[in-house]
Structure 1
Amino acid sequence: MRGLNIAIAGCGPCGLAAALLLHEAGHNVTLFERFEKPQPIGSGLMIQPTGMAVLAKLGLLDAVLVRGARIDKLFGMAGKRVVLDVEYASLGRRDAFGIGIHRASLFAVLHEAVLRSGIPLHCGRTLVGTTLLGTKRALRFADGQKNDRYDLVVDALGTRTPLAPPAGRELAYGALWASLDWPGGAGFDPHALAQRYDRASIMAGVLPIGTPPGATVPKAAFFWSLRADRLDDWREAGLPAWKARVAALWPDCAALLDQITDPSQLTFARYAHRTLASPAEPALVHIGDAWHSASPQLGQGANMALLDAWALARGLDHARSVDEGVRQGIRLRRRHVLTYQWLTALFTPVYQSDSRLLPLIRDRIVGPLSKLWPATAIQASMVSGLVGNPLRPLGLEGERQMARPGVEAA
């Protein structure tokens, strides 16, 4: 199908990618964003081989590589024990790496491409719902206005979307995030996500994220796990007490902690786990976090959203009706989505919970065994998003994902 009038709600990576893919497929796309000026929210994330496959199809992978940092391994310690040691090389693939990147950098690459494409973008429009009118949908806005009828509305508004029924639950734990100057000489590997744990109630991490827009030096995303109901206690205790706690767990973080002089430099992100039983309604589809969201333990959020956008465009391509195309797109993604929702629900308590038994098993049994084959390859497959071979049914397997000669991640 071509020539559909499609409204996309949300200008995050999911909505922007969907707009580009559907525009390239010959549809008339309009983007709606609640902010007066589109802007990213959050700090760092990981682009995995799955997300890279979609970015390559969009012709944007090289730009993402230049702005991000190549990640070759994930490494975590609990005390003196190595409990996480995952190398992408275990996959035996030429595209076996991740990209650490600031959300602002990924947003900039996608947003600039949308502007170049001439896709209409309406800002300052807060959506509160949609109305089905025959086989089409109209958008309802907070100011009481309604918009034209669309053949399809794509909901990319995230976990707390007003366009979908409530689902799932908020998780007890979230994390404090900050984007800081890369601590050169502090002993951190510029090509690794490093983490430290104390049981499952404390987790700290440092992720290289390249050089974001407006920055002049490479940055690191620093995060500290925290229960949501302890956030007020953290604020009352003050920065010095918290810094002392971080330094005791991970002395190498001193160069990062010195850059934090005000609590406002740290943003608290609350995580949720939700999966809509049916992400499709007549002339309406929910993709990305609006369909499925989870804690970032396996780092799949942005990558799953990119795959959802690709699957939707592919599903509509040969369908005889809008709803048939939407259903096909969902079928292409459902198995992979459910697999990772289950895996994330399984592993989140191992790294973020008040359990004493789970981290003990992690540190004393699972950690040592994970260094042996085939556990090394299994872990790499999970982290990379390649469990279940999601690229093959999407026609993305074998897509050239490496940078052009001379293009390297920062």
Structure 2
Amino acid sequence: MSYNIAIAGAGIGGLTAAALLSRQGHQISIYDQFDAPRPVGSGLVVQPVGQAVLNEIGAGDAARAKGNPLRRMLGHEADNGRRVLDVTYDHDPDGAHFGLAIHRASLFDVLHRAATEAGVAITPSHSITGYKDGHLHFDGRAPEGPFDLVIDSSGASSPLSPIQARPLPYGAIWGTVPWRECGLPQDQLTQVYRRADRMIGVMPSGTLPDSDNQQAAIFWSMPRNAYEAWRTHPLSDWQEEIAQLWPEAQPIFSQITSHDQMTMARYAHGTLRRPYSDGLAIIGDAAHKASPQLGQGANMAMLDASALAKALAQYPLLDALPAYAMARRWHVRIYQAMSWAFTPQYQSDSRILPALRDRALFPVSQIPPVPKILTRLVRGDMIPPMASLTPRD
């Protein structure tokens, strides 16, 4: 059966859902608050589970052409140089699994093309304020509808989701700069920590749309309320601290010549117990928020979109929404719990947690079978992402 479906937000989850559902024959309309849909942020990692969803909409090859394969995540303690994080993506000889580091603009471009080629209509300049009786309400505009289903993919600040999230004490500033050879492997996300109050990262992230020049996403952890103070200090102070903590990365960070090149990202943690209501399905950050420590945010949104599309293909609408929620429940819960446990070890003011990380947890992480478990955790397939939605014979 074909449905008239509205999607709130032209982000990663919304565009993925639009491409999947339009291919099933549904009538899809996306409403976005910006004058022209655009991505917000720097680089991210599409894990193997997310790449599988990209393949579903025929966008996998295009994404891989713009992204950069990551084979390893490696982190060192700045003061003593010891490894405190070391996860490889594949323990098999063929190396079939990898993380796809990609700039948000390039991923957005790939998903936007997949959605528009599937016939999806995208309506810009519509700031959503509410949903009632199958109609979407907007700021300063007439309501639209009725729709058989509204999908809320409007992100962490969703006006439609009832999610209650706890702000996390640490966020990070992010930027994008041209990749420079400086001794860092190009197939590796590399990080340096000083206890847990400093985290610095460099991630080779492929190319931007309409460009063949390799880029790197860079980030620096800081308390969520420290951004304005950072902006008031000379940039040279920050560059000097980077050079002291991680001299090897200084050639990459030295390309930042203005505070405006770095954007602050603040994080929160929370999960909807029931990501749907009458005629409304909630996906992505509107349904579950977490820090990006495990690199799963974009993947969770795409998996939500895929699970919802599969549920609508298998069940009538009234049954499809609880089927979607059931399919995603345990995968979301486990990854939310893991994020909650891991994040303070790398982003906090604690002195005890990073010491425990360095002296106990990391040594244990190198003892079989723990390395393979961590690999599955990072790849996103530690448990099946949507086990209950198996195709019917």
TM over 0.5: same fold? yes
- Look up the match of 1:359: 354
Q: Among the aligned pairs, what percent are the same residue?
A: 42
Distance 1:92 1:312, change over 3 A: farther
Any conservation in 1 of the 2:328–2:386 contact (CA below 8 Å)?
no
- The residue type paired with residue 342 of structure 2 is F
- Look up the match of 1:112: 113
Once the two structures are TM-superposed, the CA of residue 299 in structure 1 deviates from its matched residue by 0.5
Give CA deviations for 1:44-69 in whole Å, capped at 9, x if unaligned: 00011110111111111111111000
Alignment of structure 1 residues 68-147 onto 2, 5 Å: 68-79=67-78, 80-90=81-91, 95-132=96-133, 137-147=134-144
Q: Give the secondary structure class of the aligned counterpart of 1:89.
A: coil
Distance 1:292 1:225, change over 3 A: same
TM norm structure 1: 0.92
- Look up the match of 2:30: 31
Once the two structures are TM-superposed, the CA of residue 370 in structure 1 deviates from its matched residue by 1.6
- Look up the match of 1:148: 145
Alignment of structure 1 residues 374-393 onto 2, 5 Å: 374-390=369-385, 392-393=387-388
Distance of 1:386 and 1:148 partners within structure 2: 38
- Look up the match of 1:21: 20
Distance of 2:84 and 2:76 partners within structure 1: 5
Q: Quick one: which of 277, 280, 288 aligns to 1:292?
A: 288
Once the two structures are TM-superposed, the CA of residue 166 in structure 1 deviates from its matched residue by 4.3
- The residue type paired with residue 362 of structure 1 is R
- The residue type paired with residue 122 of structure 1 is T
Give CA deviations for 1:111-144 in whole Å, capped at 9, x if unaligned: 0112222211101111000112xxxx10100114
- Look up the match of 2:160: 163
> How many pairs align?
389
Distance of 2:327 and 2:285 partners within structure 1: 17
- Look up the match of 1:405: none
Any conservation in 2 of the 1:315–1:326 contact (CA below 8 Å)?
yes
**Is 1:235 aligned with 2:236?**
no
Q: Quick one: which of 256, 261, 265 aligns to 2:261?
A: 265
- The residue type paired with residue 16 of structure 2 is A
Any conservation in 2 of the 1:128–1:142 contact (CA below 8 Å)?
yes
**Is 1:55 aligned with 2:43?**
no
Instruction: Give ranges in structure 2 of 5+ residues lacking alignment.
Output: none
Any conservation in 1 of the 2:327–2:386 contact (CA below 8 Å)?
no
Give CA deviations for 1:332-385 in whole Å, capped at 9, x if unaligned: 111100111111001110111110000001111222222221111111111111
Any conservation in 2 of the 1:50–1:391 contact (CA below 8 Å)?
no
Alignment of structure 1 residues 213-228 onto 2, 5 Å: 213-228=209-224
TM norm structure 2: 0.96
Any conservation in 2 of the 1:77–1:197 contact (CA below 8 Å)?
yes
Distance of 1:201 and 1:335 partners within structure 2: 31
Give CA deviations for 1:268-287 in whole Å, capped at 9, x if unaligned: 00011121122111000110
Distance of 2:280 and 2:56 partners within structure 1: 25
**Is 1:256 aligned with 2:257?**
no
Measured on the aligned residues, the alpha-carbon RMSD in Å equals 1.4
Once the two structures are TM-superposed, the CA of residue 318 in structure 1 deviates from its matched residue by 2.1
Distance of 2:195 and 2:308 partners within structure 1: 41
- The residue type paired with residue 208 of structure 1 is P
Q: Give the secondary structure class of the aligned counterpart of 1:163.
A: coil
Any conservation in 2 of the 1:60–1:109 contact (CA below 8 Å)?
yes
Distance of 1:318 and 1:336 partners within structure 2: 20
Any conservation in 2 of the 1:90–1:376 contact (CA below 8 Å)?
no
Instruction: Give ranges in structure 1 of 5+ residues lacking alignment.
Output: 397-410
Q: Give the secondary structure class of the aligned counterpart of 1:248.
A: helix
- Look up the match of 1:306: 302
Distance of 1:226 and 1:298 partners within structure 2: 18
Once the two structures are TM-superposed, the CA of residue 216 in structure 1 deviates from its matched residue by 4.0
- Look up the match of 2:336: 341
